[in-house]
Amino acid sequence: MQLSKSLLLLATQSSIALAQSNSTNSTTDVPYLPLSTDDYFSFILDEVLALSNGGGAATGEVLRAAAKIEAGNYESFYSEFKFLADSLHDVAASVNATKFPVSARQAYFRAASYYRSSVFFFTANQSDPRLFDVWDQGRADFDQAIALADPKGERVTLKGPGFDIPVIFFKSPKASKCNAPVPTILIGSGYDAPQEDSYHALGREILERGWNFVTYEGPGQSTVRREQGLGFIPNWWDVVTPVVDYLETRPEVDTKRIALGGLSFGGILAPLAASREHRLAAVIAIDGLANLQQTAMASFPASAVKLFESGNQTAFDAYMNAVRASPAAPTLVKWFIGQGLWSFATDSPYDWMKQLGDVKLDADILSNVTCPVFVGKGESDVTAGGQEQEVADWLGSKGYLYEFKTALGAGVHCQLGAEPQLAQVTMDWVAEVFEAVA
Ligand SMILES: *[C@@H]1O[C@H](CO)[C@@H](O)[C@H](O)[C@H]1NC(C)=O
Ligand SMILES: *[C@@H]1O[C@H](CO)[C@@H](O)[C@H](O)[C@H]1NC(C)=O
Ligand SMILES: *[C@@H]1O[C@H](CO)[C@@H](O)[C@H](O)[C@H]1NC(C)=O
Ligand SMILES: *[C@@H]1O[C@H](CO)[C@@H](O)[C@H](O)[C@H]1NC(C)=O
Ligand SMILES: *[C@@H]1O[C@H](CO)[C@@H](O)[C@H](O)[C@H]1NC(C)=O
Ligand SMILES: *[C@@H]1O[C@H](CO)[C@@H](O)[C@H](O)[C@H]1NC(C)=O
């Protein structure tokens, strides 16, 4: 099947479209130097590289893997990262962690990231045991690392309606020192990233500011999908409310100052949760997204849109399955469909696309949000197709739209690679919101 070029834009991440055009000469329009000739590999490698800013990777290690990985080859992507993961795991395990806790912790964190990254593309084949086994190795190493971290991370499992919610709680050193409650930032990831990544993206930045840092996952996300087999749900407040209930039981949590952040697809999930969960003091949507089904449809070829709208599930499924199987299809497109089937726990592309449209924001939903909402936008990020502005408009005086600049290296989706800027802008904003809380 010949794919329309417009399908390239179907991505959840978008620097790709820009990276492809006019690249050689421009220093401002190209968000970053490609790390692979496969655009989507390049983007994901950038995502792994960005973990370096928060101790989740090391630049030399990732750039070495990037140099060896064969463009578009999932097995090659796996084996280079698995090699790094195993090697760093061995380093960590050989260090006497009692005597050298910092060295052991750092190596365990990086091993954990590389194990997780190695299986990133394997959601395309859910019967591949590595999708689970190697993931578990990453989780075990992450747990070794957070046990050696200061503050330590505590895993807690909460009960939601029909599912369990895995949470990781990092108690602010300030709360420990003053023995008083402090503000808390709760972060959720999106369509594909695991909660562990958030520790490196924002967690250390948040802890440095003297606040508690907490992450959670719900149905459709990395651990819940693996261990409970559940896909995304539109009633996302059912995931967040039990977490807020739990936070209210913790003496170190200032319950009037809890903010909920969402990364990527989480930029939909967080405001969606806040539309029914009113105990939050602020919401941070990184970036502002309203409806991923709309973004996808806008980049589908007209024939695919027509098939979807015809409601003929058999025909739409056959079309998308052919796209997935086509060697000519860009990695990005194949991944987006495969990841969608995995994270919505369905075999049917039609069912996935329907469900994707149910997890959305609109003016009515956002009219139920009672707290201020930060709406992020990457200057070069076409993922949202302008939805950031739409979300901010629906929020009216509750919304604060901020554009991160490409010239400063912060223009890509979720400001990947510019985490210190992301933290500075969002955390200073939320600090002012907290200050205004009576
Ligand atoms: C690419 O270059 C052409 C011709 O110089 C220009 O018209 C176009 O706007 C550029 N596109 C981007 C994305 O920079
Ligand atoms: C780069 O820019 C120069 C000067 O504008 C131009 O002569 C050259 O053709 C450009 N190269 C490419 C690959 O676009
Ligand atoms: C690890 O280091 C601690 C503290 O120096 C020491 O007491 C312990 O014996 C060491 N363990 C091993 C297995 O060498
Ligand atoms: C999926 O993984 C299983 C188990 O490794 C393997 O037997 C099967 O061939 C794979 N399927 C595809 C389409 O690659
Ligand atoms: C749906 O599409 C399939 C395959 O193209 C076709 O055979 C079938 O007749 C269509 N069903 C309807 C109700 O149009
Ligand atoms: C707004 O909240 C009320 C109360 O929870 C709920 O009944 C209503 O359906 C919500 N509106 C939307 C559009 O979600």
Q: How confident is the model at residue 25 (pLDDT cuts 50, 70, 90)?
A: very low
Task: State mean pLDDT over 414-419.
Answer: 96
Ligand 5 atom closest to residue 310's alpha carbon, by position in its atom list: 14
The helix (run of H) or strand (run of E) holding residue 385 is: none
Ligand nearest to the CA of residue 93, numbered in listed order: 3
Name 282's bridge partners: 259
Ligand nearest to the CA of residue 303, numbered in listed order: 5
The helix (run of H) or strand (run of E) holding residue 365 is: helix 363-367
- Separation between Cα atoms, residue 168 and residue 269, nearest integer Å: 18
The helix (run of H) or strand (run of E) holding residue 164 is: strand 163-170
CB 93 near ligand 3, within 6 Å: no
CB 21 near ligand 2, within 6 Å: no
Mean pLDDT score of the chain: 92
Amino acid letter at 420? P
Q: How far is the CA of 25 from the centre of ligand 2 (A)?
A: 6
Q: Are 88 and 80 in contact (CB under 8 A)?
A: no
More confident residue, 13 or 276: 276
Structure tokens given for 428: 């200073």
Nearest to 183, CA basis, from 384, 437, 389, 412 = 437
Residue 155 has pLDDT above 90, yes or no: yes
Ligand 1 atom closest to residue 18's alpha carbon, by position in its atom list: 13
CB 179 near ligand 4, within 6 Å: no
Q: Under DSSP, is residue 234 helix (H, G, I), strand (E, B) or coil?
A: coil
CB 97 near ligand 3, within 6 Å: no
Residue 121 has pLDDT above 70, yes or no: yes
Per-residue pLDDT tens digits for 334-371: 999 999 999 999 999 999 999 999 999 999 999 999 99
Q: Are 105 and 111 in contact (CB under 8 A)?
A: no
CB 125 near ligand 4, within 6 Å: yes
CB 128 near ligand 4, within 6 Å: yes
CB 127 near ligand 4, within 6 Å: yes
What predicted TM-score, i.e. pTM, was given to this entire model? 0.90
pLDDT at position 402, please?
A: 98
- Separation between Cα atoms, residue 382 and residue 46, nearest integer Å: 17
Ligand nearest to the CA of residue 101, numbered in listed order: 3
Residue 29 has pLDDT above 70, yes or no: no
- Separation between Cα atoms, residue 273 and residue 370, nearest integer Å: 11
Ligand 2: which residue has its CA nearest to atom 6? 25
Per-residue pLDDT tens digits for 210-228: 999 999 999 999 999 999 9
CB 98 near ligand 3, within 6 Å: yes
Task: State mean pLDDT over 225-246.
Answer: 98
Q: Are 234 and 324 in contact (CB under 8 A)?
A: no
Per-residue pLDDT tens digits for 97-113: 999 999 999 999 999 99
Residue 20 has pLDDT above 50, yes or no: no
Q: Where are the beta strands (DSSP E) in 176-291?
A: 182-188, 212-216, 253-263, 282-286
Ligand 3: which residue has its CA nearest to atom 5? 99
Nearest to 118, CA basis, from 167, 71, 69 = 69
Ligand 4: which residue has its CA nearest to atom 3? 128
Q: How far is the CA of 16 from the centre of ligand 1 (A)?
A: 15
Bridge-based pairing state of the strands 373-378 and 282-286: parallel
Residues 6+ apart with CB under 8 A from 267: 190, 285, 286, 287, 288, 289, 376
Per-residue pLDDT tens digits for 174-223: 988 888 999 999 999 999 999 999 999 999 999 999 999 999 999 999 99
Query: What 8-state DSSP symbol labels residue 70?
Result: P
- Separation between Cα atoms, residue 55 and residue 53, nearest integer Å: 6
CB 24 near ligand 2, within 6 Å: yes
Ligand 3 atom closest to residue 96's alpha carbon, by position in its atom list: 1
Task: State mean pLDDT over 24-28.
Answer: 45
- Domain ranges for the chain, please list them: 33-149
Burial class (CB in 10 A: 0-12, 13-18, 19+), 165: buried
Structure tokens given for 195: 């909660």
- Separation between Cα atoms, residue 31 and residue 17, nearest integer Å: 10
Q: How confident is the model at residue 385 (pLDDT cuts 50, 70, 90)?
A: confident
CB 133 near ligand 4, within 6 Å: no
- Range 33-149 classified under CATH 2.60.40.1220: no
Bridge-based pairing state of the strands 153-160 and 163-170: antiparallel
Query: What 8-state DSSP symbol labels residue 182?
Result: E
Ligand nearest to the CA of residue 314, numbered in listed order: 5
